[in-house]
Structure 1
Amino acid sequence: MDTANQLASAGTFHVLKLPLGFIRVLEWLFAIFAFATCGGFTGQLRVSVDCMERAASNLSIRIDFTYPFRLDEVSFEAPLCEGMMRERLYLTGDYSSSAEFFVTIAVFTFLYSLMATVVYIFFQNKYRENNRGPLVDFIVTVVFSFMWLIGSSAWAKALADVKVATDPDEVRLLISACKDETNRCGSVLEPRWSGLNTSVVFGFLNFVLWAGNIWFVFKETGWHKGTARQPDGVSQKQAGTFTQQPYLQGSLGQQGGYGAQGDIGQPSEYSPVGGPTAYSNQM
């Protein structure tokens, strides 16, 4: 029983209980989690510079960074430990392309899966008209599953680079005063990465959902239904061949005398019936 018959028998909202509709709902929920954990991230780290001249020290240098992680635009001030002079420094790296690509995929997949769910529920007839809806749905599902794989992999690599660039030990190497052994530098606060780690997990979960839904969308297309009809046609051909077989046997019997129908009423002298009769006449 296909999805169309199930919807007709149980109502339009029944599609949410089927794999096709249920996975779509999970897709737009997981897409929300993916772009919310990545696009809404704000990180902070703090380092300290303890100069020999205590008045020039700064024991809490705060550095804030956020999405889309253009770290080369994030600046902070650090003491030079030479009087009251300070220097302006910048973090290293621009990882905005991978982060924005990941969030863009999440937004578009959220919009599409939400729209597809609405179509499944309220426009089922239009969706199946001329088989265009399932075909478009199948192609888009394949494309988005591939995009989730690429985007999640790129963002996972970019996140690893962001962690290195914002490591307090790496940031201290940028400060001129920390290169002098007479001054002491340390890390006060490290960034928390739980939110961004979660975004990577949801990225690959979205890939699994979209890739797994390819089969259920493919079952609604004419391609799958066409292949499903082929075994029935083959069995009908075989049935037709079997029905013709008794007729062929009867024809052979009439021509060559090998069939049971061609020998009825015409006993041969070599038959059990004709043998005893010929012997009695000779006697």
Structure 2
Amino acid sequence: MFNKDKVNLRRKSNRMYMTILGGVFLGLAFFLTSGFVFEEKVEVLSSPVNEDIKVSSTENVVINRWIYDPKTGQMEVIIDTGHLKNEYDTIDFEAFQRSDGSEVDTEVVFQYEDHYVVRLEGLSTDYTQVALDLIGTKEVPEEEEAEEEQSGRSILRTLYADYREVEEASIEERESGEYISYTTDLIIEGIRENIQTVEEDIKDLKADSKDAEERIASLREDKVYQTDEEKLQTDNDINALEVKKNETAKEIERLKMDLERFDDKIQKTEQREREQLLETTD
């Protein structure tokens, strides 16, 4: 006769194994169909804000601000193009989004001397990164264009925004005078950030100089109890510290000149704002 207890136990074990096996298959199916395993890992690609971005051996551009408005799906970029207008007849912008590779509508909504306020529209809700091409165009005579087989239009630099890094803020419509003040405030804000960085650098350098002085004093005291050979090595160490101290002093003076230059730039920027605002009211 069959042992009923053994049969029931075997059936329970089979059910347990089938349950576990079913769970494994369901989990595997989820990962394979969800795309979780194969999701592309995209590295962060984001251009710095309020920092010089090299365009050529002599020219830099600065992104004063780059914001994304999630409510409207728009981006606004304020760019200081430096002296590029002296080299190119026109400055244009083209943008593309990584999500589907499509071109994004761009419009220069305001230009204030070398500063451009560029509006980007038509972004996908699931955009990941945006590339903004800075394009310079030079007028080239037809005969030269034919000989060189090239036009005077070239991409000077590609700037990037990443959804993980870009600032989210509301994009407002402004009048010309408001854009002048808005752009001026951003310029001055960037300058003041640079001033703060330089002041911190000066503070650190002064601390290094003080440490060097204390180390030199300590080494000179040690010489009293040293042999001639040890004194020679100590003198070399002192000389090296003196050289470093002098170099630090020169660097501090250079940074102080930068602070004066930044202060002068703020005053000129504010003066330019006042002049431009007067022109808009005439």
Indicate the structure with greater helix content: 1
Larger relative CO (CA 8 A, sep 6+): 1 or 2?
1
Q: Report the TM-score, using the length of structure 1 for normalisation.
A: 0.31
Please say which structure displays the higher CA radius of gyration: 1
Q: Report the TM-score, using the length of structure 2 for normalisation.
A: 0.31
